[in-house]
A = this chain, B = another copy of it.
Amino acid sequence: MLMLWFVGTGINGYRGLSLAAVDILKKCDVIYVERFTSLLSDGDISGLNSATGRQAIPVQRWFVEDGREILEASKEKQIALVTYGDPLIATTHSELRARAAKNSIKTAVLHGASGIASIMGECGLHIYKFGRTVTMMSEPKSAISVYNTVFDNLLAGAHTLVLTEYSHDDKGAFFLEPGQVFRMLLDVERDQRHHVFSEETFVVVASRVGDDDQRIVSGKIKSLAGVGFGPGPHSVIITGMLHFTEEEALEALTVSLDGPADNAKSIKRISAQMVERYAPKAKEAVKQMRNVLRDDDKGDKKGMYEVLDNAEYYISDSERFLMQGRHDLAVLSIGYAEGLIDALRFQKGINPWNP
Chain A residues with CB under 8 Å of chain B are: 8, 10-12, 14-20, 22-23, 51, 86-89, 91, 94-95, 97-99, 101-102, 109-114, 116-118, 120-122, 124, 126-135, 152, 156, 158, 210, 245, 248-249, 251-253, 269-271, 274, 299-300, 303-304, 306-307, 310-311, 314, 327-328, 331-344, 346-349
Q: A86-B118, A114-B117 are in contact. Are A303 and B347 (CB under 8 A)?
A: yes
Question: 5 smallest A-B Cβ distances: which pairs?
Answer: A339-B339, A335-B335, A88-B121, A343-B343, A303-B347
B339 lies within 8 A of A89 (CB): no
Q: A97-B249, A112-B113 are in contact. Are A127 and B307 (CB under 8 A)?
A: no
A307 lies within 8 A of B121 (CB): no
Q: CA A17 – CA B23 in complex, angstroms?
A: 12
Chain B, Cβ-Cβ closest to A8: B113
Measured between beta carbons, the chain B residues less than 8 angstroms from A327 are 328
Q: CA A245 – CA B122 in complex, angstroms?
A: 31
Q: How far is the CB of A175 from chain B (nearest CB, A)?
A: 19
Q: A98-B248, A249-B98 are in contact. Are A126 and B332 (CB under 8 A)?
A: no
Measured between beta carbons, the chain B residues less than 8 angstroms from A252 are 97-99, 101-102
Q: CA A103 – CA B210 in complex, angstroms?
A: 23
Question: Which one of B23, B248, B300, B349 contacts A299 once the chains associate, using CB atoms below 8 Å?
Answer: B300
- The A contact surface, by secondary structure, is helix
Q: How far is the CB of A13 from chain B (nearest CB, A)?
A: 8
Q: A332-B331, A339-B343 are in contact. Are A113 and B116 (CB under 8 A)?
A: no
Q: A121-B89, A135-B128, A334-B335 are in contact. Are A310 and B342 (CB under 8 A)?
A: yes
Selected A-B contacts with CB under 8 Å, 17 pairs:
A10-B113, A95-B249, A98-B252, A109-B121, A111-B113, A111-B210, A113-B114, A271-B328, A299-B299, A304-B347, A306-B346, A307-B347, A314-B339, A331-B332, A335-B336, A339-B342, A343-B343
Q: How far is the CB of A334 from chain B (nearest CB, A)?
A: 7
Q: CA A306 – CA B347 in complex, angstroms?
A: 8
A94 lies within 8 A of B249 (CB): yes
Q: CA A97 – CA B91 in complex, angstroms?
A: 33
Question: Which one of B300, B340, B349 contacts A342 once the chains associate, using CB atoms below 8 Å?
Answer: B340
Chain B, Cβ-Cβ closest to A254: B101
A16 lies within 8 A of B12 (CB): no
Q: A91-B126, A113-B112, A118-B86 are in contact. Are A335 and B331 (CB under 8 A)?
A: yes
Q: CA A314 – CA B342 in complex, angstroms?
A: 12
Measured between beta carbons, the chain B residues less than 8 angstroms from A331 are 271, 328, 331-332, 335
Known pairs A10-B111, A98-B252, A114-B117 / 4 extra A-B pairs, C-beta < 8 Å: A109-B122, A131-B132, A331-B335, A339-B341
Q: CA A145 – CA B20 in complex, angstroms?
A: 38
Measured between beta carbons, the chain B residues less than 8 angstroms from A271 are 328, 331
Measured between beta carbons, the chain B residues less than 8 angstroms from A269 are 328
Question: Which one of B94, B117, B337, B348 contacts A339 once the chains associate, using CB atoms below 8 Å?
Answer: B337
Measured between beta carbons, the chain B residues less than 8 angstroms from A95 are 245, 248-249
Q: How far is the CB of A329 from chain B (nearest CB, A)?
A: 8
Q: A10-B112, A98-B245, A303-B347 are in contact. Are A328 and B131 (CB under 8 A)?
A: no
Measured between beta carbons, the chain B residues less than 8 angstroms from A129 are 132
Chain B, Cβ-Cβ closest to A153: B132
Q: How far is the CB of A6 from chain B (nearest CB, A)?
A: 9
